[in-house]
A and B are shown apart, each in its own frame.
Chain A
Amino acid sequence: MSPNDSPPVSGPSHAERGRHEAASHATARLLWLYPARYRADHGDEIMSLHCDARLAAEGRIARVREDLDLIAHAGRTRLRISSAFASGRALGSAAPWLVAGAAASAVYALTQSATLHNGRHLPPVTAALNGLLLVALALAVAGFWAWARPLTVLAGAALAGVMAFESPVLHWHSSRIDFLAVTALLVLCAPPDIRPTSRTDRAAMLAAAAAVALPVATWSLGLEVHLPGYLPTTDRGPWTLLVMAVVAFIALLRVRKQPAMLAGAIVATLPWLWNIVFLPDLVGDGLILAVMALIGALLNRPGRDQLLDAS
């Protein structure tokens, strides 16, 4: 088989012809998800690629996964957040910090629950979902980003859903629901081809999670520490923002000519704002979403996509 061989497309049997037609029809339907201009420019090539991949996929599940990947690509292209856009590269750079942040908030929830003496421990399902966020960080640090990313999305979204049905609805409780939902959404939207590869990147994720979580954990164990913020004992003070500011500063030092990476660190900070802003929910949510939209617009302004980031 030569290097450029594909699944056969000439002289197929009746059954094969049927498979080719099915693949073509399925792909043609999915292509409508792309913006019209993009479809006109790239549709034929994507059609060819996806048909080949679909024909080679063994079993229904494999074909569904191929389709889901194409649907995600179409969605990212519509929203201009694939890694071909600066805003996509910013999201890709933010994703590791978001995974670290979700895990740090899980440490907070679990240590609080484990050390409370008033009988208000986390329900088992909630505790298990928090545990999965820690597993996701462990997988990411171990280099299994392809597993860490969906696990953070699923556990974060499930936890937000479960918490929404729990009581009592305290401010911290509801703000963490927002925090988890936004984190899951941002990680879901992040382009999958940008991932923390180097040992330094992965160690930095662990360090950021530890920097956010350790003051809380040490307080829970009875070792009080004094840090900037309302209290070192919660994740609602500016402490987490300070940690993320350090992350952004380091990103700035490392990649002065690649603003998408700096923007990524800033984007990763935004979910934490839900935990600390004391504004009416809708106003706070609106403000934060406006900041996100502004960052996206600035990154994607004409001429910006020539930036060479995140290779």
Chain B
Amino acid sequence: MTQRALQEPTLLLLTALADQPRHGYAIAQEVLAISDGRVRLRTGTLYTALERLVQEGLIEVDSEQTVGGRLRRAYRLTRLGGGVLAAEVERLRATAAEAERRLAVPGSPRWKEVTA
């Protein structure tokens, strides 16, 4: 199956949930850390993305608990979501490997830099 490249917020969000379930605020913090501070998902944007990914079956609600009077809903990757993320990782890996190979070809800017 060929699938389109994932949108960056989607990729980061799925990555944030790859190792364990997390609730909304923790997901936003993870995305910020994974992207090296580049992508900050604010509440509205994050919630839209969560809603869409639940609709698409890529994530699902793992648990709900009330802490300090506030509802915390934790999300986890579904099997489909895990598969989509794994396929994206494979695609990125293949692209990165090809880029590495080409940069190592004599005459490429990187090759010149290393051998200078």
Whether A53 contacts B42 by the Cβ 8 Å rule is yes
Residues of B within 8 A of A4 (CB): 22-23, 26, 72, 74
Contacting pair A9 B70 (CB below 8 A): yes
Interface assignment of A285: CB less than 8 Å from any CB of chain B: no
Question: Least Cβ distance of A35 to chain B in Å?
Answer: 14
Size band of the interface chain B makes with A: 35 or more
- On chain B, the residues within 8 Å of A5 by CB distance are 26
Chain B residues near A176: list those with CB within 8 A.
Answer: none
* Bound-state Cα–Cα, A200 to B53, Å: 23
CA distance A47 to B26 in the complex (A): 15
C-beta contact mask, B21-34 vs A, less than 8 Å → 1, else 0? 01111101010000
Q: Tell whether, in the assembled complex, residue A84 and residue B51 are in contact, meaning their CB atoms are under 8 Å apart.
A: yes
Interface of A is mostly: helix
A45 CA / B22 CA spacing, docked (Å): 13
Among residues 151 to 179 in chain A, which have CB atoms less than 8 Å away from a CB atom of chain B? none
Evaluate contact between A82 and B56: CB separation under 8 angstroms.
no
Nearest CB on B from A48, distance (A): 4
Query: Given A3-B30, A9-B67, A198-B5, do A73 and B56 touch, yes or no (CB 8 Å)?
Result: no
User: Once the chains bind, are B42 and A255 in contact (CB under 8 Å)?
Assistant: no
CB–CB A310/B44 < 8 A: no
B70 to chain A, nearest CB (A): 4
- Given known pairs A4-B22, A6-B26, A45-B71, the reply for A82 and B42 (CB within 8 Å) is no
